[in-house]
Amino acid sequence: MNFAEQLEQIVKSRIEKDSLTLPALPAVAFKAIELTRAADFNMQDATSLIEKDPVLAVQVLRLCKSAAGATHEPCKSISQAVSRLGAKNLRGVLVEISARRTLESRDPKVTAAVKVLWEHSRAVAQLAQRVAVVSGASDPDTAYLAGLLHDLGKPVVATILLEAESQIAQRNPKLWIDFSTWTDVVQRCHRPIGLDLARKWQLPDEIQKAIEECADYDPANRLSTGNAVRFANAVAKQQGIYVGSVSAEDNDALVMIGRSLLSIDDETLTRLSSDLKEKSREAA
C-alpha cells in the first residue's frame, strides 16, 4: 500500500468515526463572528463571508443539519443554513470552528498550493452560479454551493498532510515528502475522501453528484447542476486557477462540450469568466 492509499484509509477511518476536525481560514471565521455580534446582524453579509471557504461552508451545513434534526431537508445553499441557525447559533458554530489550529507548511510551494485550492473552489462556484443564471441550469445558489464543494476532498487531504508534516517536523525537520509527491497524493485520493465526507454528513444529492462525477458531463440532463459545475471546473483550469497537471487538449474539449450542452457562446463565456481570477483571489 503506497502513501496515498494509506492516507486515504486514515482519513476515511476518521470520517467514519466522526473524528475529523478541519480548521477554516481564520480571517473568514473571525470576520463572520464579528458580524454575528452586531446589533444589525445581516445574514447576507455572513453568507458572503462563509462562502469564501469550502471547509467552513461544509461544516456550517453539517452543524445546521444537526441543529435542525430530522425536520428539515438538507440545505442547498449557505443562505438557507445561516437563516436556519440564526445569529446566536451561527456564532457558536463559528467560534468552535475558528478555535482550531491553522497549520502551514515549511515548503512555500505547498503553502501557495493550499491557497490555490481555495481559489479554485471559489472560481468554480462563482462561474457555476453565473452559468446557472444565463442557461437556466438549476438554482444558482445550489450551483454555487456544488461548485464550492466539488473538490471538497482536496482541502481535507491538504489539512491532514499539513498535520502530518507538523508532527514529523518535531522529530526530524528534514524528513518529509517533496512538493510533486504532495500534489500527487492530493490528486489521487481527494475524490473518494470528498465523497465519503459528503455521504457521512448527508450533504444534498447535487453536492454528492458534483463530487462523484466531476469529470464527465451528463448529456441526458443537459441543464443539470452537475454540468454547470463540470463546465466551470474546466474553465477555471483553462485559466490556470488550479493545482496539479492538466491536459490542455482534453480540458479544452471539456470546455467545448460544456459550451454546447449549456448553450454558452464566445461572448457569453468571456463576459462570465473575464474577472474569474480576480474574484477568486479576493481576500475575505
pLDDT for 166 beyond 80: yes
Q: In whole angstroms, give the CA distance from residue 271 to residue 151.
A: 25
Confidence of residue 34 (pLDDT cuts 50, 70, 90): confident
Residue 30 in this model has a pLDDT that exceeds 80: no
- Spans of all domains in the chain: 24-98, 108-280
> Residue 71: its pLDDT value, please?
56
Q: Which residue reads 485550492 in cell numbers? A: 117
pLDDT band at 268 (very low <50, low <70, confident <90, very high): very high
Q: What is the pLDDT of residues 179-214, one digit of tens each?
A: 999 999 999 999 999 999 999 888 888 889 888 887
Report pTM: 0.88
User: 108-113, long-range: CB within 8 Å, 24+ apart, which pairs?
Assistant: 109/179, 110/162, 110/179, 110/182, 113/158, 113/179, 113/182, 113/183, 113/243
All three cell numbers of 20: 475529523
In whole angstroms, what is the distance from residue 89 CA to residue 95 CA?
Answer: 10
Here the contacts of 106-109 (C-beta below 8 Å, separation 24 or greater) are 106/165, 106/169, 106/173, 106/176, 107/176, 107/179, 107/182, 109/179
For residue 241, pLDDT over 90 is answered with: yes
Question: What pLDDT does 50 receive?
Answer: 86
> How confident is the model at residue 126, as a pLDDT?
95
Within 136-178, where are the H helices?
140-149, 153-171
CA dist 122 → 87, 156, 261, 271, 276 (Å):
24, 16, 23, 17, 9
pLDDT grade for 72, boundaries at 50, 70 and 90: low
CATH architecture of the domain formed by 108-280:
Orthogonal Bundle (1.10)
Place of cell 445553499: 77
What's the pLDDT score for residue 96? 75
The answer on pLDDT for 226 being more than 70 is yes
pLDDT at 77: 86
Lowest mean pLDDT among 21-25, 97-101, 102-106, 114-118: 97-101
pLDDT at 113 over 80: yes
What φ, ψ does residue 103 adopt, rounded to 5°?
-105, 150
The HSE-up count of residue 50 (CA atoms within 13 Å, CB side) is 31
User: Exposure pattern of 10-21 as b/e (b: 16+ CB <10 Å)?
Assistant: ebbebbeeeebe
Amino acid identity of residue 107, one-letter, is: D
